[in-house]
Amino acid sequence: MRRESEKKTKARTGKRAASPRTRVKTASHAHKKKRGGVRYLLIGMTLVILILSAFIIILDQRAMKKGHVGLWESITGIRPAVTAGDVAQACTITLEEFGITDQNLIREGWTTMKNRNNERLQHLIFRVPDTETFQFLTARFEDSAGNNGVTVHNRHVIRKPHEWVLSYYVGTHGQRTHKYDFVYNPEGTPTPAPIPTHMKPTADEPDRKDMDASDNELNDKPRIALIFDDFGADEDIARRFLDELDIPITLAVIPYQKHSADIIKLTRQSGQTPFLHMPMEPLNSDAMGNLSEYYLLTSMENEELITRTRKMLVDYDGVAGVNNHTGSRMTADSRAMETVLKEIRDRKLIFVDSRTTADTVAEMTARSLGIPTASRQVFIDQGYNAGDVTSSMLELADIARKKGSAIGIGHAIPSTLDDVKAILPKLLDSGVRVVPIRSLTN
């Protein structure tokens, strides 16, 4: 019967019909071939995913090295510290969470770790007021610092009957930059000891005038902070300010200038504080000049104010804070300022009111929103007309002596730089301390 069928098939097609065994083998081969194709497809897809993932990781790391926010940081909201300046700022924020401020600072200097190839770390020693704070620092500092982008590399605790010392070695992901010591005296506050030999500045480090001051002397010294506005167009003048002023300073950078991003990055790498000098509407619209398309205006609806503010803060995400460029009309408008300041608050930045009008509500609004904030007391120059910088600096110091602290604002002008450098030794010798702007915001 089968042979009859094969003969009919052969007669009809010219080919001999396949036997059942052959048909089974053919089907099995086709099935294996199909399975093999699926396997190769899965392998190929896996390789593509791995290559894309590696590419994304490489780009992400390059972005982070340049000071931009990486993918993981965008998801978690944690920006990693990439410079020593970032570490210092983040640790200042962290310590404020524990109630430790500049008022608790006993010593500041440098220490060399000879057992680590002469690694040099900035060394700060703080007095801890009570047992509870010491225990909180022991238990929670590492997590809090991590949430602010700082890597804790080592921790040591020494408890003696008369003194407890908690030490943290912190820095960026790949490098230690600072050592923080927290000292608590169970038997009361002792008389400060002389500066340890390992903390005395070496020949290539500036001699901090207050390093051998007692606790009370250190806390009683008048403090000033200096902000210099209008950077962005000229990188050379920014480098001069960063290289020639051996004090804490803030460079406020106008957005969308030729060198704005580079100067922000350079300021951070120098361990100084970069601000965004945010253009805000003045009473005289002629003052806006060629920046008019970037200004925040009181005529804008909240949505447009949010969009413009958010764009500036995203485009220049390496800044530590914001102050206003012009703004005599804008800073007097409660509705507009509240809208803008909420965006600044959400990015955990500080805000300094440049006080370009006596009618400003900026600092008051920022304070009501819980933003670390302060206001300028003195313009130390008169814009690009320069003015008497020396007299203005002396006025700033006098205000600090009366009120405890004061903030001065100057501009990116060579003559301002020269005059500040000339008067600084006199101010420092008189007991005035120059501090980072963050330590004067609250």
pLDDT at residue 43, rounded to an integer: 83
Residues 112 and 118: beta-carbon distance below 8 Å: yes
| Residue ranges covered by each domain of the chain | 84-219, 221-440
Residues 225 and 248: beta-carbon distance below 8 Å: yes
Q: Out of 74-83, 243-252, 368-377, 403-412, pick the least confident.
A: 74-83
Q: What is the pLDDT of residues 389-420, one digit of tens each?
A: 999 999 999 999 999 999 999 999 999 999 99
* pLDDT of 35 above 90: no
How many C-beta atoms lie closer than 10 Å to residue 339's C-beta? 20
C-alpha 186/C-alpha 424 separation (Å) is 40
pLDDT at residue 34, rounded to an integer: 59
Q: What is the pLDDT of residues 214-249, one digit of tens each?
A: 334 445 689 999 999 999 999 999 999 999 998 999
Instruction: Say which residues have a Cβ less than 8 Å from residue 93's Cβ, sequence separation at least 6.
Output: 148, 348, 438
Q: Which residue has the higher pLDDT, 204 or 69?
A: 69
- Phi/psi at 362 (5° precision): -65, -50
C-alpha 109/C-alpha 125 separation (Å) is 9
pLDDT at residue 26, rounded to an integer: 59
C-alpha 314/C-alpha 50 separation (Å) is 29
Region 335-363: mean pLDDT is 96
Q: What is the pLDDT of residues 117-139, one digit of tens each?
A: 778 888 999 999 888 899 889 88
* pLDDT of 213 above 60: no
Residues 99 and 105: beta-carbon distance below 8 Å: no
Q: What is the pLDDT of residues 184-200, one digit of tens each?
A: 988 665 434 433 333 33
Average pLDDT, the chain: 83
Residues 322 and 275: beta-carbon distance below 8 Å: yes
pLDDT at residue 224, rounded to an integer: 96
Query: Smallest Cα–Cα separation from 311: which of 279, 271, 350, 268?
Result: 279
Instruction: Name the percent of the chain lying above pLDDT 70.
Output: 78
Strand, coil or helix: 370:
coil
* pLDDT of 65 above 70: no
DSSP string, 202-269: -TTS---TTTT--HHHHHHS-EEEEEEEEESS-HHHHHHHHHH--S--EEEE-TTSTTHHHHHHHHHH
Region 319-328: mean pLDDT is 96
pLDDT at residue 426, rounded to an integer: 95
Token pair belonging to 152: 């804790």
Region 253-277: mean pLDDT is 93
pLDDT at residue 207, rounded to an integer: 37
C-alpha 246/C-alpha 271 separation (Å) is 11
Strand, coil or helix: 369:
coil
- Return the H-helix or E-strand segment holding 415: helix 414-429
pLDDT at residue 53, rounded to an integer: 79
* pLDDT of 6 above 60: no
pLDDT at residue 162, rounded to an integer: 81
Q: Where are the alpha helices (DSSP H) in 2-123?
A: 2-13, 20-65, 71-76, 84-97
Q: Which residue has the higher pLDDT, 360 or 112?
A: 360
Token pair belonging to 408: 């001065």
Please, is 408 exposed, middle or buried when counting C-beta atoms within 10 Å of its C-beta (0-12, 13-18, 19+)?
A: buried
Region 414-438: mean pLDDT is 94
Q: Out of 16-30, 248-262, 292-306, 373-387, pick the least confident.
A: 16-30
* pLDDT of 363 above 80: yes
* Mutual angle of helices 414-429 and 389-403, in 10-degree steps: 40
Residues 138 and 157: beta-carbon distance below 8 Å: yes
Q: What is the pLDDT of residues 271-281, one digit of tens each?
A: 889 999 999 99
* pLDDT of 203 above 90: no
C-alpha 67/C-alpha 88 separation (Å) is 15
In CATH terms, the superfamily for domain 221-440 is Glycoside hydrolase/deacetylase (3.20.20.370)
